[in-house]
Amino acid sequence: MDDDDDYAQARASMLAEITALVIFNCGRLGKAALNRRVLEALGEVPRHAFVPAELQACAYADTPLPIGCGKTISQPFIVAVMTDLLDPRPSDRVLDIGTGLGYQTAILSRLAKHVYSVELIEALALAARMRLARLGCTNVTLRVANGRQGWPEQAPFDKIIVSAAPQEVPPALIDQLAPGGRMVLPAGPPDHQQLLVLDKAADGSVSQRKVFAVRFSVLEDTAPR
């Protein structure tokens, strides 16, 4: 699953569109440009490797795409914004909830020390594991589990990112966030979801801010049959 030159122009166009959308949304984001490391990671990770083969021609359009099991890969702009808000550092241990086929996970693997990724649906987790291995993401550990429960055996985490929306922030995830850590996730009822940034202070207190309205798949407790 090499980074094919055929997609180079499409990837460049994707980055240009993300850059323009960030400028357009600078009032809500509080900045007019994304972190250079985040843009470099987006430029390096082949999004076409994380969508079904029949959709690879559309891989760099700024839109969510179906990946099977009733789930989608998030639009590139949202992936970029959430990653930038998370602010992963090279020394960070990151908990990634909702692996899907592994696109967000692959980007995080280039920005953090280690990524612990949790996916509820076994078929997606198996496909993600193969894709991540082919891309050489050796600093990722993946398991099939209920994301609401996090990964207590590996806690605490410096950063937590969630790619599906609970109605309320799961308490287990707050507990597993290290003091000084940050969590980025969508939350709220299906028609009123907001992208949230939570910061945990050294004393354990948590502050929260809303970024803008989003629409994500619901963070489920059990895998669909």
Whether residue 183 lies inside any domain: the answer is yes
Question: How many independent structural domains does the chain possess?
Answer: 1
E-only strand ranges, the chain:
65-68, 71-73, 93-97, 114-119, 140-144, 157-162, 177-187, 194-200, 206-213
Q: Model confidence over 63-107: pLDDT tens digits?
A: 999 999 999 999 999 999 999 999 999 999 999 999 999 999 999
In a domain, 177, yes or no: yes
Tokens of 1: 């699953």
Note down the domain range covering 209: 5-213
- Selected catalytic residue, list 13, 74, 91, 117: 74
Q: How confident is the model at residue 4 (pLDDT cuts 50, 70, 90)?
A: low
Quick check: is 219 in a domain? no
Span 146-179, pLDDT tens digits? 999 999 999 999 999 999 999 999 999 999 999 9
**Other C-beta atoms within 10 Å of 110: how many?**
20
pTM: 0.94
Going by the DSSP 8-state scheme, the letter that residue 104 receives in this structure is H
pLDDT tens for residues 5-42? 689 999 999 999 999 999 999 999 999 999 999 999 99
224 found inside a domain: no
Asked whether residue 220 is assigned to any structural domain, the reply reads: no
pLDDT at 197 over 50: yes
**Residue 81 sits in a domain of what CATH number?**
3.40.50.150
Is 112 domain-assigned?
A: yes
Which H/E stretch holds residue 69? Answer: none
Tell me, yes or no, whether 82 lies in a domain.
yes
Active site residue 74: yes
Residue 222 inside a domain? The answer is no
